[in-house]
Amino acid sequence: MESINNKLEDLGIELPIIKEHSKGLIMIRQDEKLLYCSGSGPLDSSGIPVVTGKLGRELTLQEGYQAARLCGLNILAHLQNYLGNLERIDKVIKVFGLVASDQEFFNQPKVIHGFSDLMVDIFGENGKHARTAIGTSVLPMNIPVEVEMIVKIK
Q: Supply the mean pLDDT for the chain.
A: 94
pLDDT at 46: 85
Q: Where are the domains of the chain?
A: 4-153
- Give the Cα-Cα-Cα angle 119, 93, 127 (nearest 5 degrees): 25
Map residue 6 onto helix, strand or coil: helix
State the pLDDT confidence band at 23, using cuts at 50, 70 and 90.
low
The string of DSSP codes covering 42-99 is SB-TTS-BSS-S-BTTTB-HHHHHHHHHHHHHHHHHHHHHHHS-GGGEEEEEEEEEEE
* CA–CA dist 29, 90 (Å, integer): 16
Could you give the percent of the chain with pLDDT greater than 90?
84
20, pLDDT greater than 90: no
pLDDT at 102: 96
pLDDT per residue as tens digits for the range 40-75: 999 998 889 999 999 999 999 999 999 999 999 999
1, pLDDT greater than 60: no
pTM reported for the whole predicted model: 0.94
**Superfamily of segment(s) 4-153:** RutC-like (3.30.1330.40)
pLDDT per residue as tens digits for the range 132-149: 999 999 999 999 999 999
pLDDT at 18: 80
